[in-house]
Amino acid sequence: MEATIRRWVKSLIIFAVLLGLLYFLIAIGDLVKLMIISAILAYVLDPLVTMIEANGLNRTPATAILFSVMTLFFALIMILLLPVISSEIVSISRSIDPEKAQAAFAQLESFLAGFTAFLGVPDLNLTTTLVDMVVQYGNDIFGNLLSVVSLFTNLVLIPFIAFFLLKDGRTIKKYLVSLVPNRYFELTCNLLYKMDIQLGNYIRGQVIDASIIGLLSILALSLLQVQNAILIGTVAGIANVIPYIGPICGAVIAIVLSLLETGDMGLVLYIAIAFIIVQLLDNVVVQPTVVAKNVNLPPLLVLLVVIIGGKFFGILGMLLSVPLTAVLKVFLVEGYTTYKQYNFS
Amino acid sequence: MDSFWGNIFRQKDEEAEGIRNILKKIPIFEGLRRKELAAVERILYRREYKAGEIVLNQGDPAAGMYIIEKGKVQVVFEPTQQVIAELYDGDFFGELALMDESPRSATVVARLDCKMLGFFQSDLLDLIERNPRLGVKIVMRLLSVIGERLKKSNDQVQALQIKLYNMKQRRKTPAGDE
């Protein structure tokens, strides 16, 4: 009886501590976001640092060399792409012609009404809802996106934290392991190793996948002569990180923007086909090659965590919620499997 | 203040030097240069065990080998509780775990307060990726240690087979024939 009470009290304390920790993490949300993005960056760059190390350099100079090259590379990309993207953002907000958009959505609504009539949905009210929303909040969305990333501070802080995580990652790991009691020492080492492999593969796979999808989308949209192809393609690539929902969001953004700008319904069909082809390529060729299959998440869970992530941390929260859930899944599954293999009686 | 930091760093250096001296005598790290030994020293886990504490359990997944920096351990075969070996300062055990993850074949218990160095398969694999030359050196030495153990085991098996054969022959031969 006493043992049961003790176990209950212990569980309650652990639960309270976890709840407190969650509250604390939400309270310092911005810092958590920074740490997560830095950790992802460190994970993506780790194999490159290891490759440089294999040529006889120590960890610190290897990391420094990689960061110097990366800084130059990004500076070059910024110089080349930033003016294009910012002019695309400006052109989107300028080119939105409410009248043209209204006409286009009226056309789209009548097109969709044919399909929805038999479902007993008489009026979709697409025009009023979407046009109002997009025209009123269009600028805010991009404003939020930029403010969430807090461009200048974060552009310095993220690489800075990632640099130290890369350089001192092993020392940090060694220190954390040294805190683990002897009994769980081997289990911890084993678990960390397995998690590291799975997470590394998953995160690197996702980044490569998003980059390829972004490039393919830019290519497809450019071929269709869609204005702002680079911006829309980039958004589509990033959105692709969220399974099931992301690709649809990418396509919808592209369609809505091109409708607002051109009002051409024919283009909508081509854009939809282009995105379907890109998604087919993603599912058949890219994902099986680069993304680790063992971190698959069920669709309902993805939907839930994206909603929760969005609720607490906005757009960035939606993007990070899926990789974080994957981290948690790997931790729980590997933790349980590894724990079961050990005899702790 | 200077002497405070100086003391800490000196202590760390002395510790590292002590570990390198132990490593030099371990066959797996034999012939490694000072810089290479330092690279190995950096990935080792230093652990302390109280007398009577279990270092590893028979049947648990194997993750790496241990080097006894100071102390004494007993290797025990669980089903019979038979003590297979007693190991002291500078000895090592569990080296097969560097090659595969099959379960531990015996339990190891600290008999005195021990200081140990843990060298794990994951860190060896990481070392091979970062420093292939050093990684290959260690793996070759490891193979030769395991090879020697295998030869010894083969000799023992052969000796036992001969003993068994002789016993069978003796049984077959009637007592009166002798």
Ordered structural domains, chain B, with CATH: 2-177 (2.60.120.10)
Classify B116 in phi/psi space as left (phi over 0), alpha (psi -120 to 50) or beta: beta
Question: Which position has the token pair 């958004």?
Answer: A235
Quick one: pLDDT at residue B178? 46
- Pairwise CB contact (< 8 Å): A185 & B57: no
Quick one: pLDDT at residue B137? 94
Q: How far is CA B104 from CA A112, A176, B60, B101, B166, in A?
A: 65, 25, 6, 8, 34
Please, which pLDDT band fits residue B53 given cuts at 50, 70 and 90? very high
**Residues of A whose CB is below 8 A from B122:** 189-190, 192-193, 196
pLDDT in tens, A21-44: 888 877 777 777 788 888 888 988
pLDDT in tens, A251-302: 888 788 777 777 777 788 888 888 899 888 888 888 777 766 666 778 788 8
Task: Report d(CA A73, CA B108) in Å as an integer.
Answer: 53
A97 or A187, greater pLDDT? A187
A positions 181-200 inside 8 Å of B (CB): 182-183, 185-186, 189-190, 192-193, 196
B11 or B72, greater pLDDT? B72
> pTM of the full predicted structure?
0.71
A100 or B67, greater pLDDT? B67
Mean pLDDT of chain B: 88
CA dihedral A112, A113, A118, A123 (to 10 degrees): 130
Quick one: pLDDT at residue A118? 57
- Pairwise CB contact (< 8 Å): B56 & A177: no
SS3 state of residue B114: strand
Please, which pLDDT band fits residue B101 given cuts at 50, 70 and 90? confident
pLDDT in tens, B113-147: 999 999 999 899 989 988 999 999 999 999 999 99
**Residues of A whose CB is below 8 A from B59:** 343
Residue extents of the structural domains in chain A:
2-341
Using the predicted structure, report yes or no on whether residue A47 has a pLDDT greater than 50.
Answer: yes
Cβ atoms < 10 Å from Cβ of A186: 27
With a pLDDT cut of 90, the percent of chain B lying above it is 55
A positions 227-246 inside 8 Å of B (CB): none
